[in-house]
Amino acid sequence: MNKPQRDITLRFLAEPQDVNFGGKVHGGAVMKWIDLAAYACSAGWSGRYCVTAYAGGIRFVAPIHVGSLVEVAAKVIYTGNSSMHIALEVNACDPKSLNRRLTTHCIVIMVAVDQNGQSEQIPKWIPESPEDIKQHESAKRLMEMRKLIGEEMQIFVE
C-alpha cells in the first residue's frame, strides 16, 4: 500500500460565474473550493470516501478577483479514529505576475465513512517537525473550544 498523502493543492482560475454583485468572487464559491480541497486531502490520507463534519474559523482576509489564479492548499494537522482535521489556506494572484496573497483560511474536519455512512478507521498521523507539532497542538485546543461553542449553540436548536 502507498504512503498516505498528507497534503494537496488545487489550482484553478476564478471564473465570471463565481462573482457576486460586488464584482468579487463570492464567499460561497470560496467555501465550495475549500470543501473540495478538504475532501481530496482527507481521501488521500485515509484512502476512503470522506464527508464534511465541520467547517469553522473561516476568515476572509482579502477579495479574489475574476481571472485570478486560485490555490487552495490543504493538509492534515490532526487525526482521530475516523476524523481528520484539515488546515486550509486559499491564495490568489494575477496569473501573469504570480504574486500570491492570502485570501482565506480555515479548519475543516472530515470523517471517513463506509458505503452505509458509518465511520471507518483511518491511519494515524504523527507530527514530526516543530511546525507540525505546533499545528497538532492547536488542533487539540480548537477541539476544546468547539465543545464550548457547541454547548452555547444548543440554545438555537432547542
| Residue that the C-alpha cell 473540495 belongs to | 36
Looking at the domain assignment, is residue 107 inside a domain?
A: yes
Looking at the domain assignment, is residue 58 inside a domain?
A: yes
CATH code for the domain in which residue 53 is found: 3.10.129.10
Q: What angle do CA 106, 107, 110 make, to 5 degrees?
A: 140
d(CA 5, CA 135): 17
Looking at the domain assignment, is residue 56 inside a domain?
A: yes
pLDDT tens for the chain, 158 residues long, are 577 899 999 999 999 999 988 889 999 999 999 999 999 999 999 999 999 999 988 999 999 999 999 999 999 999 999 999 999 999 999 999 989 999 999 999 999 999 999 999 999 999 999 999 999 999 999 999 989 988 888 888 86
Full residue range of the structural domain in which residue 129 is found: 7-156
Distances (CA, A) of 141 to 54, 107, 136, 154: 15, 12, 9, 21
42-60: pLDDT as tens digits? 999 999 999 999 998 899 9
Looking at the domain assignment, is residue 2 inside a domain?
A: no
Looking at the domain assignment, is residue 1 inside a domain?
A: no
Q: Look at the chain and report how many structural domains it folds into.
A: 1
